[in-house]
Amino acid sequence: MPEMTYRDAINLALKEEMRRDPSIVVLGEDVALYEGSFKVTRGLLAEFGEERVKDTPISENTIIGVSVGAAMGGLRPVAELMTVNFALLAMDQIVNHMAKIRSMFGGQTYLPITVRAPGGGGSQLAAQHSQSLETYFMHCPGIYVAMPATPADAKGLLKSCIRDNNPVMFLEHELLYNSKGEVPEDPEFLVPLGKAAVMREGKDLTIVAYSRMSVLALQAAAELEKDGISCEVVDLRTLNPLDTETFIASARRTGRAVVVEECWRTAGLGSDIAFRIHEACFDTLLAPVRRVSGLDVPMPYSRKLEKLCIPQVETITAAVKEVLSEKY
Domains of the chain: 3-182 (3.40.50.970), 197-325 (3.40.50.920)
Let me know if 173 is a catalytic residue. no
Query: What is the pLDDT averaged over residues 7-16?
Result: 98
pLDDT digits (tens, 9 = 90+) for 275-309: 999 999 999 999 999 999 999 999 999 999 999 99
Neighbours of 103 (CB within 10 A): 10
End-to-end CA, the chain: 46
Let me know if 188 is a catalytic residue. no
198 burial (CB, 10 Å; 0-12 / 13-18 / 19+) is: middle
Between the CA atoms of 10, 295, 254 and 225, what dihedral angle is there, to the nearest 10 degrees?
A: 80
Q: What is the pLDDT of residue 236?
A: 98
In one-letter notation, the amino acid at residue 85 is N
Query: What is the pLDDT averaged over residues 142-149?
Result: 98
Between CA 153 and CA 293, with CA 281 as vertex, the angle to 5 degrees is 55
DSSP assigned state of 81: -
User: Cα(100)–Cα(286) distance, rounded to whole angstroms?
Assistant: 42
DSSP assigned state of 40: T
The answer, yes or no, to whether residue 168 has pLDDT greater than 80, is yes
Q: What is the pLDDT of residue 327?
A: 78
Q: What is the pLDDT of residue 1?
A: 85
Q: Catalytic one among 17, 97, 129, 232?
A: 129
Q: Do residues 64 and 116 lie in contact, with contact meaning Cβ atoms separated by under 8 Å?
A: no
65 burial (CB, 10 Å; 0-12 / 13-18 / 19+) is: middle
User: Cα(7)–Cα(17) distance, rounded to whole angstroms?
Assistant: 16
Q: Catalytic one among 17, 60, 174, 232?
A: 60
pLDDT digits (tens, 9 = 90+) for 45-102: 999 999 999 999 999 999 999 999 999 999 999 999 999 999 999 999 999 999 999 9
Query: What is the pLDDT averaged over residues 14-42?
Result: 97
Q: Do residues 258 and 208 lie in contact, with contact meaning Cβ atoms separated by under 8 Å?
A: yes
Q: What is the pLDDT of residue 172?
A: 98
Q: What is the pLDDT of residue 276?
A: 98
User: Cα(54)–Cα(56) distance, rounded to whole angstroms?
Assistant: 6
* Helix/strand/coil for 25: strand
Q: Do residues 260 and 292 lie in contact, with contact meaning Cβ atoms separated by under 8 Å?
A: yes
